[in-house]
Amino acid sequence: MPDEVYEKEVLIIGGGIAGLSAAYFATKQGADVILLTKGFAGKSGCSVQAAQFGGGIIFLPEEDRYAYFKARLFNFMADQELAWQLIKGIDEVNPARVLEEIGVLWRRRDDGSILVTAMRLNKKGEPSLPYYLWSEKMGDTAKTISSALRQEILRRGVEILDNTVCTKLLTKGGEVVGATAYDYEQGRFILLKAKSVILATGSAKLWKYHTEARESVGEGYILALEAGAQLVNMEFMAYHDAEMVWPWSLHLGNLYLYTHGGFGAAKDLTGKYKSFSPSKFYNMKGEEFSITHKLGERMAIELQIQKGLARKDGGYYVSFEGRDPEFIEEFFYQANALKHLGIDISKDKIEVRTSCHNMIGGIKIKPRTAETGVPGLYACGAVASQCLGLHNCMVSASWAANSAVKRAKEIEAPTIDLDQVKEEENRVLSWLSRTKDTVGDGIPPIKIKRKIMDIMWEKCNYMKCEEDLLEALQQLRMIREEMMPRMVLRSNTKRWNYDLVEALEVPRMLLCAEIIVTASLMRKESRGYFQRKDYPETDDKNWLKNIVIKFENGKLKFDTVPVKLTYVRPWE
């Protein structure tokens, strides 16, 4: 039986900004909350790497809000009602004020008003949709937010289980009633009984180069699927285009150069900064190329790759030479780190590459409630479809917390199927008997994870085609049939055995990869972030549809559902 049993009103799985925010909003309503995270709460997922905070939407005039809304429709694949309610939620939740109340100090102008910056300039050279806020420097913002939220929920009495991996969501009668977990720091198998469960597990690090943290492998999606929830738009992925290539150690920290941030700031800050022009990009021949393209920056770089003037993993360069060095020194957190490496960010051309960032799709949720369709299970942040971005993490977290607490106050404590718990305990701990000492030579889990990431990087990257996707499926099937049966641990210790953690991750990571590749094969068109070179045109006639994934009779089922054009239509 379990080494320890917890019984709480609300269980939150995930220690990034979405999970921390859900804990904050739930405790404000008096709920008894426990939070578990595979890493360290406040330092998990990719949210701690976010450069800036989008809570400044609250300052946008109505016409700019509409422009932002259209941008968040992701080329008409989004749930338009969800997109609209996320914007309304900024007014209702006011996450910027919430964070300032718990100690996050926003950069301000000389007149005391909050400094709001933009990612881009419009055709007139003016900041376009300025809604980003900074705390300290651009690049430090999310670290400050995460630290403040962690301290606040600890002050409110939230119990945090760091270094603990959720192994299964427990169900009874079609409802989620808790979870099992393994604490690899103490070597404990844990049972968590809960009236409500919130998934805040973030996105999926399935590609070789990715902004996500090591522990984010997409298992939140699979946990939800196994419990009866649905996934949507899993073929859509956002990208970053300026992750530093050298030195290699920086890849471990994903040092991303924020090439578009800060527009409007130099103009606002007393006019003392002399110049502030967009970053410049150069190909491997040293030729400057325009980063402007109707399909976005990523396509502009892809065109250089197709010409042999850049690579997927580098070979092109970014320069900040048009920005005032004093501005960079004062507002870019990377400046000091790069100085120690002998790099002058204001002058040098820095080699960069593309990295995968966040899934745009995810668990299908209801606007304003974050319900997944499975009673007792809610989702927020990047694991939920369309909820990427720190401000959306907080809005969706408030929805999930409200719904979870309401349910917890209304129902009796659920009963647990102990046979289900025992079966899961046996599955988890059985890996400790599969070591090289007991079953002979095999394959450590990390090698299988790297193989999956290599396949996804090479065959299911930004520019896709049927030949590559079919080969990806074949190679993933080979992993399932030939490599997974040979997977062994290098140690049978219960404590700090990361081989055990990764052995638990591999099956769900693999299934998540298969889902993404299969959905990518189904969509025979190109649309925004999703590009296929064998179907280069957007096909509204046949593909104005969402791909919805669920388990049915123990097997994955992929359906297409017409997009509800509630507010905006492509032809308008």
Q: Please report the pLDDT score of residue 220 as a whole number.
A: 96
Q: Please report the pLDDT score of residue 126 as a whole number.
A: 62
Which of 27, 43, 45, 4 has the alpha carbon at shortest distance from 388?
Answer: 45
Q: Please report the pLDDT score of residue 124 as a whole number.
A: 63
The CA–CA distances, whole Å, from 436 to 36, 291, 497 equal 31, 51, 14
Q: Can you name the residues that pair with 117 across neighbouring β-strands?
A: 132
Q: Please report the pLDDT score of residue 277 as a whole number.
A: 63
Q: Count Cβ neighbours within 10 Å for each residue of 92-113 and write b for 16 or more, e otherwise.
A: ebbbbebbbeeebebbeeeeee
Q: At what angle do helices 445-459 and 498-522 cross, to 10 degrees?
A: 20
Which of 119, 98, 96 has the alpha carbon at shortest distance from 108?
Answer: 96
SS3 assignment for 465-516: CHHHHHHHHHHHHHHHHHHHHHECECCCCCCCCHHHHHHHHHHHHHHHHHHH
| Per-residue model confidence as pLDDT tens for the chain (572 residues) | 899 999 999 999 999 999 999 999 999 999 999 999 999 998 877 777 777 888 888 888 888 888 888 888 888 999 999 999 999 999 999 999 999 999 999 988 778 888 887 766 666 656 667 788 888 777 788 889 999 999 999 999 999 999 999 999 999 999 999 999 999 999 999 999 999 999 999 999 899 988 887 788 999 999 999 999 999 999 999 888 888 887 765 544 445 566 555 555 545 554 555 555 667 889 999 998 887 655 567 788 888 999 999 998 899 998 887 777 777 777 777 777 788 888 888 788 888 888 888 899 999 999 999 999 999 999 999 999 999 889 999 999 999 999 999 999 999 999 999 999 999 999 999 999 999 888 878 999 999 999 999 999 999 998 999 999 999 999 999 999 999 999 999 999 999 999 999 999 999 999 999 999 999 999 999 998 899 999 999 999 999 999 999 999 989 999 999 999 999 998 87
| Sign of the dihedral defined by the CA atoms of residues 377, 381, 385, 387, in that order | positive
Distance, in Å, from the CA atom of 513 to the CA atom of 460, rounded to the nearest integer, reads: 9
Give the tokens for residue 173. Answer: 């009668």
